[in-house]
Structure 1
Amino acid sequence: MNPLVSIVIPAFNNEDHIRETLRSVTAQTYENVEIIIADHSSTDGTAAAIDEFSADPRVRVLSPTPRGGGAPANWNRVTQEARGEYVKLVCGDDLLRPDCVAAQVEAAVAYPGCVMVAARRDIVDDAGEVVLGSRGLAGMRGVISAGVAVRETVRSGTNPFGEPACVLVRRHALLERGWDDTHSYMLDVASYMHVLDHGDVFCMEASLASFRVSAGQWSVRLMRSQATEAKRLYSELAASRPTDVSRGDVLRGSVLAHLNALARRAFYMKLKVRSPRAESAQGGTA
């Protein structure tokens, strides 16, 4: 019998955290899962750490993903190997609550018109301490129509649905276009917008995952690139969904994208003072 859920893990230079990530994934209370892992030719001990979990019958470790292609190359590779009806991508330093998959599957089955189930998440630092609790979804709860979800995404100037560990997606909706490599700095949210071409989203009140942040993730170039890509994505969405996204929504979102980037800069600078040695990656080489 094929698994209902594929948990796919693109790893890259995650030696310090991949064991904790994999323990959180293998400890899920929901049992009908497969776990697919690909290391993106890491230069640290990530591959050896992954191998410690290879005896688990649910785990399938792929050969190393060749260097290059950035995060989209490894994200798409593990996703294309998925056999489940639903896919959850977990980066190599993020965490799932033990009941995360069970709760999201329950919602997905209860609301078959939804192609995506999103939960809130905690933001944790390099040591795993919560720095911001129960974040995300911009006030959206329950079944949210695709049009409203897209409009709220644009108007928020950020990614209200959070990182992929927060989200369960129907595989067919994701695989039609895969992870969007044309928006490398907004890889997840741009891809969610394509998924929403196929149905609605269910938004959960509970915080079911943890996203790890570190001072090493921030740079002036990253901040500017994210804001620029946000504006481009919003304009594309207004063109493709004119009944859902107005020019005013694009203007509002573009301004907020810049302000959110400045807020992230302040947050990461504060984090750097707390943990000056912290660094992290999102599962792909440049």
Structure 2
Amino acid sequence: MSPTVSVVVPAYNNEPFVRQTVRSVLEQTFADFELVVADHSSGDDTWAALQEFTDDPRVTLLRTPAGGGAKRNWDAVSEVATGDLIKLVCGDDVLYPAMLERQVAAFAQHPDAQVVASRRDIIDAQGRVLVRGRGLGRALVGEVDGSAALRASIRAGGNLFGEPMCVMMRTETLRSVGWWDDRQPFYIDLGTYAHALMRGSFVGVDETLAGFRVSAQQWSVRLTDEHSRQAAQFHARVRAEHPDVLSKADVVLGDGMAVVAAARRRLAYAWLGRRMRVAG
């Protein structure tokens, strides 16, 4: 029989962290899941690190060819999923023990739900918590109409739902929309959630159930500027596809908030970078 949940991990050059990521899935309080890990032709020892888990019947290990960026690996590992529900976890992030249990329960309690998300901590390379309980906001706790939830996130100028390890979706929905949408690469997560949110409701679980790892590569002004540029492209795309959901005023507000978010991100990266250097 197929499991209830497929947890899929698209690993790439994650040798220092991938064991912790895998263990965080295997130690879940919810037991009816499979774990699929795909190494995207890493240049480090990611594949060797994964061999620790070859004898666990819950784990399937794959190798995917180089090229194609995040979408190729995210699609490849997701297409193998056999569970009714799916959660993608990048190869350096961690799930807290009750993550699957809480989110599966949310789907059971809300039959119309297409996307379920929870809060996350921001952690450093050593797993120390830098910022606690990020995500969702007051407007996205409990069950919310999917289009209203998407509009709230766009008007905020960012991704209120969180990175993929924060989110669980229905596998069939992800399959039916063509898997992960990377037309704006920085929005491959929210760009994909958007398709699902137009098909049903959103449920926000008001708990911190994961850790999102930040690294030195993220302390980049160039990346924050590119993020806000792609945000504007994403907003325009949603407006074109769903003019009944997103107004011109929503787009203008979202574009402005994305610029503000980029400025805040620069300050946050500077503060977090200093904190990581001191802690290290």
8 Å Cα contact 1:215-1:269 kept in structure 2:
no
State the match for 2:241 in structure 1: 240
Is 1:120 aligned to 2:119, yes or no? yes
Q: Determine the structure 1 residue equivalent to 2:87.
A: 88
The 8 Å contact of residues 214 and 271 in structure 1, kept in 2 or not, is answered as no
CA distance in 2, matches of 1:112, 1:221: 42
Partner residue of 2:60? 60
Q: Distance in 1 between matches of 2:6 and 2:107?
A: 14
Q: Deviations over 1:255-277 (max 9, x none)?
A: 11111112112222233333359
Query: What's 2:28 paired with?
Result: 28
| Structure 1: runs of 5+ lacking an equivalent | 279-286
8 Å contact 2:121–2:211 — kept in the other structure? yes
Q: What residue is the counterpart of 2:78 in the other structure? A: 79
Aligned to 1:183: 184
Query: Shift of the alpha carbon at 1:242?
Result: 1.9
Show CA shifts across 1:178-197 (max 9, x none): 11121111110111001112
Query: Does residue 158 of structure 2 align to residue 153 of structure 1?
Result: no
Distance 2:185 2:222 in 1: 13
Query: Higher mean Cα deviation, 157-166 or 65-74?
Result: 65-74
Q: What is the one-letter code of the residue matched to 1:141?
A: V
Q: Deviations over 1:212-264 (max 9, x none)?
A: 11121232332122111111111111222222211111111111111111211
Q: Within 5 A, what are the aligned runs for 1:198-217?
A: 198-217=199-218
Contact 1:215/1:271 (8 A) holds in 2:
no
Aligned 8 A contact 1:214 1:268 in 2:
no
Tell me, in whole angstroms, the C-alpha distance in 1 between the residues paired with 2:9 and 2:111. 25
Residue 21 of structure 1 contacts residue 93 of structure 1 at CA under 8 Å; is this kept in 2?
yes
Q: How does 1:128-167 map to 2 (within 5 A)?
A: 128-139=127-138, 140-167=140-167
Alignment correspondent of 1:281: none
TM-score w.r.t. structure 1 length?
0.93
1:5·1:88 contact (CA, 8 Å) conserved in 2?
yes
**Mapping 1:162-173, distance limit 5 Å:** 162-173=162-173
Q: Which moved more, 1:8-17 or 1:174-183?
A: 174-183
- The Cα of 1:138 is off from its aligned counterpart by 2.3
Say whether 1:3 aligns with 2:3. Answer: yes
Report the residue type matching 1:48 in the other structure: A
Shift of 1:27: 0.3
Aligned-partner Cα distance in 1 for 2:157–2:7: 28
**Does the alignment pair 1:100 with 2:86?**
no
What letter corresponds to residue 272 of structure 1 in structure 2?
G
Q: For 2:184 and 2:41, locate their aligned partners in 1 and report how far apart those are by CA, in whole Å.
A: 23
Distance of 2:263 and 2:54 partners within structure 1? 42
> What is the distance in 2 between the residues matched to 1:40 and 1:28?
25
> Aligned Cα RMSD in Å?
1.5
Q: Compare relative contact order (CA 8 Å, sep 6+) and give the higher one, 1 or 2.
A: 1
Q: Pick closer, same or farther for the CA change 1:68–1:221 going to 2, 3 Å.
A: farther
Instruction: Classify the secondary structure of the residue corresponding to 2:121.
Output: strand
Given that 1:4 and 1:84 are in contact with CA atoms closer than 8 Å, whether structure 2 keeps it comes out as: yes
Q: 1:225 to 1:160 in 2, by over 3 A?
A: same
Q: Closer, same or farther in 2 for the Cα pair 1:271/1:16, shift >3 Å? A: same
Higher mean displacement: 217-226 or 12-21: 217-226
**Structure 2, unpaired ranges of 5+:** none
Deviation at 1:81, TM superposition (A): 0.5
Residue identity (%): 43
